[in-house]
Structure 1
C-alpha cells in the first residue's frame, strides 16, 4: 500500500482489520523529508490532503530501537497549526485506532470538530504509524480470499470446528514471514510509543497532549507509562483492556461482552413502530430471529457476487452485526436491510471495497502489531475447548472471540514483554467510555481505570457505539472532554453522563 491519494476502507468494523475500527482513511504524503537535525521541514502535502491548512513532514526513526544507530525508517506526520498563536499551549497528537489505522488526515477531519478553544490552543498532529503507507510500509502479499474480514476474524465453521482457522493462521503467517520483510518484526505497540516520543522531540515539545481512540487508548496508555513526564493532557476514548498477560487476546474476547451489551439496543430499534427497516413486532423477537437466520445461512449460504467471500453465510451475517454495532445511528439500518434481504433469499448490492493494496497494507500492520505484542497459544486443543465454551455461553458471537487468529502460528516470539500499566506518573489522564461499546466494552475500560489508579478519572457515557468523544457519545461527555483539553480541569471523581 504505497499510494498517496484518498483511500476508503471496506465495510469492516472493529479496530483495524482483525480487531479494530477501520474508519474511512485518507492519506497525504509529504512533499519533502525531514530537514537535518531535530527541526521538521513542513511543506504542503501532496495530493490527497483534505484541508488547505494541513502540512506534512517526515520523521526518521530507528527500525530497531535496540540498535538506534542502525537502519532508519520514515514516519509521516501532519500538522494543522493552532488557530490563535497567543493562546497556543502545545501540540495535541491524534492517536489512531486499529492497529492499522492512520490519523494523518484527522488533523483536517475530525480534528476540525474540536471546539474553537481547543483548536486555538493546540497544533493538531497526525501520523501514519510505522508500517502504514505513506510511512515506510509493509505488505504480506495475502491471497485475495484471505483478506475477507470474515476470514481474518476467526469465525469457526458452522459445526464449531476450528480446523480451517488453524490452516488459515498458518498460511497467513507463512505469507507475512516470506513477504513482509524485516519491518514486520519491528511493528508493535512499544515501537509505536517510542516513535511517538521521537515525533514529540522532532516537534520541539517538552510535553505532548494526546487524544487516543480505540487501540489508540492502549498506545496512549503505554506511552504514558514509558514516558510519563513527557505527557501533558491525555484523553483516552473507547478503552482497551490493558491486561499485560493477554493484550490483544483480551480485546478479541471482549466482543462477547460488547455484543451482549449492544444487541438489546439493536433489538429495540429493529422492533420500533414506524421504522422502515423493522424486523419484528417486539424487541424480544429480534434475537431469536437473528440466531435462526444465521443458522439457516450456515446451512444454505446465498451467492453474493462481487463480495469477499462471494457468499452470504452465517459468519458474514455475524460479521456484519459486529460492524453495525460500531455506529448504531448509521449502521443499524445496514444490518436490518441485510437480514430482510436474506429472509427473502436475496442479497443487497455488495459493499464497496478499497483497493487491494490498501487492504494488504492495513492487514499486515494489524497482524504484525497483534502478534508481536504478546505470544498467543499455538495449541489447537486450547482454542477448541475455548471456542466450544464460548459458543455455548454467547451464541451471538459463535465462538469467534476465543478462537485462533494468525498469531497462533506466528513464528517470532515478542521482542519485549508487554508493558504493565500502573498508577506511577502524573495525574493527567481522562478516560471517556460509552456504556455500550461492541469493540471496547465498559468492562475493559474499568480495568484500565483500575490500572491507572490516581492518574485517571473515568467519564462513562450513557450511549451506544464505538468512539465516544465527538462521535457516538453525548453532549455531557463531549463538554467534559473539551473542558479538560482547554483548561486541564477534570471531574474530581469518576462521572456518569446520563
Structure 2
C-alpha cells in the first residue's frame, strides 16, 4: 500500500543496525555529530549503470551454463537470457557484483532489455548453494540487504550459502524509476498524512496526482514493467544464471509476496523457500489498510505499555491510555506548529514516520523514547533522523529510490484507489482499530489516484500446487504485516507450513527467538521441514 503520505511499508529492515546505534549515540552527546540516514556500506561501483533507459537485445557474450536442465527456459524465446553467464567482479568489502540481463517485457523478449543489479556474499563455510534474499518494500534494494548479511542473517546461513541479493526491476540500480525531485520528495513526505482542513485535503490530492504523473513522465517505459510478476520472472532467470536447479529463497515482508508469486509461476523450480512476515495477496484495499492500521496500533500500545509497566515514572503518563493520548496530542501540536528538526523542520508528516520507524524492531523502542522526550522539549532532530532513515535519506539527499519504487510497484500491482470525497465515510472503521493512526491509513486509500499505467500480466491466484514445502513465518504483534496475514498465506499455499513467533516487531527470523531461528535454519541448511503450526 502506498499513498501521498506513504504509510509504513511491508519491509523487513527499516534501516541498518548501525544507523540506530549512531542515532542512539546522538541522544547522549547532544547531536554533536552528523549522521547518515542509511549506511549502505560504500559505493556499489560496477553493480549497474546509472541510466534507467533500456538497452536492446541480450548480450552476445552470454555463455551457456553446462547443465541444460538448469537453463531450460519456459519459453524458447527466452533461451538467450536463461543461458547467460554472470561476470562476477570484486566490488567492496569482499563482496562480488554482477548484472543480470532480462527482457523489459516478457511478452516481447526480443525487444528492449534491462540490467538487474546483483551482489553476492560468498559462503564462509561448506557451501551448499545460493540463497537469494529480498528485504521487502516493495522498493528496497536487495543488494543492500545482502551487503548487510552479517547483521541480518545468522552464521548457519552465512556458512552454508552464497547470499545473493538483487535490486528488483525499478529499484536501486536496476533501471530505477524516478517520479519526483529530491526537493519535491521532501515536500511530499512532510505533508500532513491525515489532512483535517479542505486546503490540506486539496494539497494531498495534488501530490497524489503529481506523484503518479511524475513516474510516467520521468521513468518512461520502465514504470509500466515493475510489477511483482515481472520481478518473479527475473528471479527464475537469476536462478538459471546462478546454475541452480531450484531456487532457495528467504523473502521478508513484501518479499513474501514476491516469493509466493514465484512459487505460483514456477512450482517445479521451488527449492527451500522461507517467507517471513507474510503478505496476504487476497485482501481488498480496505482490508490491507485495516490490517496495517491495527498492526501499528498494537505495536504502539505494546511500546507504551512497556514504558508504563517497566519504569517507575514513564514520561508518557501513568497508563497506556494516557501515553497514547500524549503521543496523539504531540502530533496535533506539531501539525499546528512544526518544531526545529535539524536541517529541516519537523512537520507532522516527518513526526509520524519518526514514531513508526522504531516500532518495526522492539530493540529500538528506547531510541523512540529518547526521540520523543527531546521532541516534547521542542527538539525534533532525532525524530527527524528516524523519519529520514525510513525514507533512505542522508545529509546529501536520498540514498536510493525506495520511496518512488514503492509507489510505482504498489500501484502497478494494484491500482485500486478511493476518491478523496469518500474518505470521511472510511475513517470510522479505521479509527476503530487504530485511534492513533486510523485517519492516516484512511487517507492512504487514495494512494493510486494519479496512477494510469496497467501491468502487462495480471497477478495470479496464489496456490503453488506441486511446490516443495514453503515455510511461512508470522509474528503475533507484527506492526506492518499482521499475524493473520501469515496464517492466510500459509493456508493459500498448497504446501504451506506455518511457524508462529509470539513477539513484537516486524518479521520473525533473527529477532531473538531461538525456536524460529533454528526451525528456519534447519529447513534452509538441512531440508528439515518444521511441523506445520509450530509455535515459538
Post-superposition offset of 1:245: 5.0
| 1:427-465 Cα distance to aligned partner (Å, 9 max, x none) | 41111122111111112212212211x411111111111
Post-superposition offset of 1:339: 2.8
Q: In the aligned structure 1, how far is the partner of 2:395 from the partner of 2:185?
A: 15
Post-superposition offset of 1:491: 2.3
Q: In the aligned structure 1, how far is the partner of 2:155 from the partner of 2:369?
A: 38
| CA distance 1:199–1:405, shift in 2 (3 Å) | farther
The correspondence of residues 17-28 of structure 1 with structure 2, limited to 5 A, is 22-24=14-16, 25-26=40-41, 28=44
Post-superposition offset of 1:467: 2.7
| CA distance 1:335–1:228, shift in 2 (3 Å) | same
Q: In the aligned structure 2, how far is the partner of 1:20 from the partner of 1:89?
A: 25
Q: In the aligned structure 1, how far is the partner of 2:432 from the partner of 2:377?
A: 28
Mapped pair 1:489 → 2:528? yes
What residue number does 2:415 align with?
Answer: 375
Mapped pair 1:435 → 2:476? yes
Mapped pair 1:213 → 2:258? no
Post-superposition offset of 1:380: 2.6
Out of 368, 379, 382, the position equivalent to 1:335 is 368
Mapped pair 1:157 → 2:192? no
Q: Is the 8 A contact 2:131 2:162 kept in 1?
A: yes
Q: Is the 8 A contact 1:238 1:466 kept in 2?
A: yes
Q: Is the 8 A contact 2:135 2:142 kept in 1?
A: yes
| 1:80-101 Cα distance to aligned partner (Å, 9 max, x none) | 333445xx43221012211111
Please identify, of 368-377 and 346-355, the stretch whose mean Cα deviation from structure 2 is larger.
346-355
What residue number does 2:497 align with?
Answer: 457
Provide the alpha-carbon RMSD of the alignment: 3.0
Report the 3-state secondary structure (helix = DSSP H, G, I; strand = E; otherwise coil) of the residue aligned with 2:353.
helix
- The two structures have a TM-score, normalised by structure 2, of 0.79
The correspondence of residues 137-152 of structure 1 with structure 2, limited to 5 A, is 137-142=176-181, 144-147=183-186, 150-151=189-190
| CA distance 1:469–1:415, shift in 2 (3 Å) | same
Q: Is the 8 A contact 2:169 2:175 kept in 1?
A: yes
Please identify, of 348-357 and 127-136, the stretch whose mean Cα deviation from structure 2 is larger.
348-357
Q: In the aligned structure 1, how far is the partner of 2:48 from the partner of 2:189?
A: 39
What residue number does 1:254 align with?
Answer: 291
Please identify, of 186-195 and 283-292, the stretch whose mean Cα deviation from structure 2 is larger.
283-292
What residue number does 1:63 align with?
Answer: 104
| CA distance 1:336–1:139, shift in 2 (3 Å) | same
Q: In the aligned structure 1, how far is the partner of 2:460 from the partner of 2:396?
A: 34
Out of 215, 234, 239, the position equivalent to 1:195 is 234
- What 5-or-longer segments of structure 1 have no aligned partner? 1-11
| 1:101-151 Cα distance to aligned partner (Å, 9 max, x none) | 122144442257645543443222111111223222222233624345745
| CA distance 1:278–1:269, shift in 2 (3 Å) | farther
What residue number does 1:362 align with?
Answer: 402
Mapped pair 1:448 → 2:482? no
The correspondence of residues 214-293 of structure 1 with structure 2, limited to 5 A, is 214-243=253-282, 245-246=284-285, 250-274=287-311, 278-293=315-330
- The two structures have a TM-score, normalised by structure 1, of 0.85
Q: In the aligned structure 1, how far is the partner of 2:503 from the partner of 2:96?
A: 35
Q: In the aligned structure 2, how far is the partner of 1:131 from the partner of 1:412?
A: 14
Mapped pair 1:109 → 2:153? no
Q: In the aligned structure 1, how far is the partner of 2:437 from the partner of 2:394?
A: 26
> How many aligned residue pairs are there?
469
Q: Is the 8 A contact 1:373 1:418 kept in 2?
A: yes
| CA distance 1:269–1:278, shift in 2 (3 Å) | farther
Q: In the aligned structure 1, how far is the partner of 2:175 from the partner of 2:296?
A: 36
Q: In the aligned structure 2, how far is the partner of 1:357 from the partner of 1:348?
A: 16
What residue number does 1:36 align with?
Answer: 62
Post-superposition offset of 1:368: 1.4
What residue number does 2:131 align with?
Answer: 92
| CA distance 1:384–1:69, shift in 2 (3 Å) | farther
Q: Is the 8 A contact 2:476 2:500 kept in 1?
A: yes
| CA distance 1:39–1:180, shift in 2 (3 Å) | closer
Q: In the aligned structure 2, how far is the partner of 1:112 from the partner of 1:464?
A: 19
